[in-house]
């Protein structure tokens, strides 16, 4: 299968948004795709937005996350996934972190699908193979990592794992079919759900009558969990 090489371009639109409002995870800080506080004009010029810089990061579907002047994205080259951290305004590479992650034929173009989730001085990322990593935002050093499918014998969905981690207070929520609430500091399991076959959406949370609800799109359908207990 012919692989595609993805080029990420950071446009003036994104840089303006990052300077006025953080975009630290997939679909933004509230996981709803809404920019609430950025002071920028979303109308493109006739010839399109001006390209300020670009970087070749390999194959993948990972969205860009922006926080504290940094832009983070993941891609795959020659059987390795790499997380890239760039200066959001200049495109200068600050650090990169690579790990083995072969592309399977059934993954189409393949490469990482989940976006990076930035939480202060830590970032969280789920690989296509279901490995969750907590990484220092400043240096790119791994703080902790867990291979959940291997540890808990979780089956792979057809196109592997793609859910962007969700921060909920002191926890990081990880959906690999079985949903895990992990202590975001050390990776210890707080609770885990019953097993499901993973879908290809990312979890979100909302509050109903003072109760936090976790919403996950897995293979059987839409599932709601009590955030406290799973």
Task: Tell me the CATH number at 133.
Answer: 2.40.128.630
Within-domain flag for 197:
no
Q: What is the mean pLDDT of residues 27-32?
A: 91
**In this predicted structure, what is the pLDDT of residue 17?**
45
Within-domain flag for 29:
yes
Q: List the domain range (segments joined by +) for residue 96.
A: 6-162
Q: How far apart are CA 87 and CA 112, in angstroms?
A: 21
Tell me the per-residue pLDDT of 178-208, one tens digit each, with 9 for 90 and over. Answer: 999 999 999 999 999 999 999 999 999 999 9
Within-domain flag for 167:
no
Q: Strand 122-126 vs strand 131-136: parallel, antiparallel, or unpaired?
A: antiparallel
- Report yes or no: 160 and 153 within 8 Å, Cβ to Cβ: no
User: Which H helix or E strand runs over 202?
Assistant: none
pLDDT band at 21 (very low <50, low <70, confident <90, very high): low
Query: Taking the model in full, what pTM does it have?
Result: 0.89
Tell me the per-residue pLDDT of 80-97, one tens digit each, with 9 for 90 and over. Answer: 999 999 999 999 999 999
Answer whether residue 9 shows pLDDT above 60. no
* Domains in the chain, number: 1
> What burial class does residue 158 get, using C-beta atoms within 10 Å of its C-beta: 0-12 exposed, 13-18 middle, 19+ buried?
exposed
Within-domain flag for 129:
yes
Nearest to 17 by CA among 90, 67, 87: 67
Enter the tokens of residue 71: 């832009």
Answer whether residue 129 shows pLDDT above 70. yes
């Amino acid at each position: 299968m012919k692989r595609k090489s993805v080029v990420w371009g950071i446009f003036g639109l994104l840089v303006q948004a990052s300077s006025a409002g953080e975009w630290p995870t997939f679909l933004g800080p509230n996981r709803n795709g809404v920019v609430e506080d950025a002071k920028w004009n979303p109308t493109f010029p006739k010839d399109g937005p001006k390209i300020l810089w670009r970087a070749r990061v390999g194959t993948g579907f990972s969205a860009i996350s922006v926080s504290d002047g940094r832009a983070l994205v993941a891609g795959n080259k020659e059987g390795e996934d790499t997380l890239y951290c760039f200066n959001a305004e200049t495109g200068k590479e600050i650090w990169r972190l690579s790990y083995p992650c072969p592309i399977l034929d059934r993954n189409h173009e393949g490469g990482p699908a989940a976006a990076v989730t930035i939480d202060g001085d830590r970032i969280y990322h789920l690989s296509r193979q279901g490995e969750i990593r907590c990484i220092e935002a400043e240096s790119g050093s791994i703080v902790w990592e867990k291979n959940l499918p291997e540890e808990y014998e979780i089956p792979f969905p057809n196109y592997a794992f793609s859910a962007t981690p969700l921060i909920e207070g002191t926890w990081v929520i990880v959906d690999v079919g079985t949903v895990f609430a992990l202590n975001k500091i050390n990776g210890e399991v707080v609770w885990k759900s019953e097993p499901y076959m993973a879908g290809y959406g990312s979890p979100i949370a909302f509050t109903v009558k003072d109760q936090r609800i976790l919403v996950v799109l897995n293979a059987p359908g839409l599932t709601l969990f009590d955030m406290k207990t799973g």
